[in-house]
């Protein structure tokens, strides 16, 4: 699957948790690409010293999409009986709390700077380690 292609419709897949795992993997990878794209927007906004309204729009988009992604990913984890779901949820809550906190920062440049430094490091580690463990689980499940 290419990064910009849509995952197959669930009606194209016969039932079973192995197919749910395959579909979930494709959707999660697509969503992670979007989150990485939003983080690039945050970084670019910081570099160009974007206006407060632009910063708010970017942070709201990042916050909203990230929370939606977390809910969907956690729902998938539950449906495939992922044993690491509680630890994963705690990490999601950590990031959600940090993103919500950015929306309250008075200085929008300060909020962007925090987003660029803290969230970029957190997201990279979460994707490379925690989500990789879940993806490996999904890949084993679909085999």
Give pTM, 2 decimals: 0.69
pLDDT of residue 84: 94
pLDDT, one tens digit per residue, over 87-120 is 999 989 988 887 777 777 667 677 777 777 777 7
Residue 51 CA to its chain's centroid (Å): 25
pLDDT at 124 over 70: yes
Residue-wise DSSP of the chain: --TTSPPPPGGGS-SSHHHHHHHHHHHHHHHHHHHHHHHHHHHHHHHTT--HHHHHHHHHHHHHHHHHHHHHHHHHHHHTT-TTHHHHHHHHHHHHHHHHHHHH-S-HHHHHHHIIIIIHHHHHHIIIIIIHHHHHHHHHHH-
pLDDT of residue 23: 59
pLDDT, one tens digit per residue, over 4-50 is 333 333 333 334 444 555 556 677 777 778 888 888 888 888 788 88
């Amino acid at each position: 699957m290419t990064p910009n292609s849509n995952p197959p419709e669930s009606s194209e897949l016969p039932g079973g948790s192995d197919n749910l795992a395959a579909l979930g993997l494709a959707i999660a990878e697509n969503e992670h690409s979007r989150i990485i794209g939003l983080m690039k927007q945050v970084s670019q906004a910081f570099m160009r010293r974007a206006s407060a309204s632009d910063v708010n729009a970017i942070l709201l988009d990042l916050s909203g999409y990230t929370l939606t992604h977390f809910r969907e990913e956690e729902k998938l984890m539950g449906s495939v009986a992922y044993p690491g779901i509680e630890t994963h949820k705690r990490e999601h809550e950590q990031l959600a709390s940090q993103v919500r906190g950015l929306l309250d920062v008075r200085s929008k440049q300060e909020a962007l700077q925090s987003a660029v430094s803290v969230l970029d490091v957190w997201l990279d580690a979460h994707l490379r380690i925690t989500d990789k463990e879940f993806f490996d689980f999904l890949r084993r499940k679909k085999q």
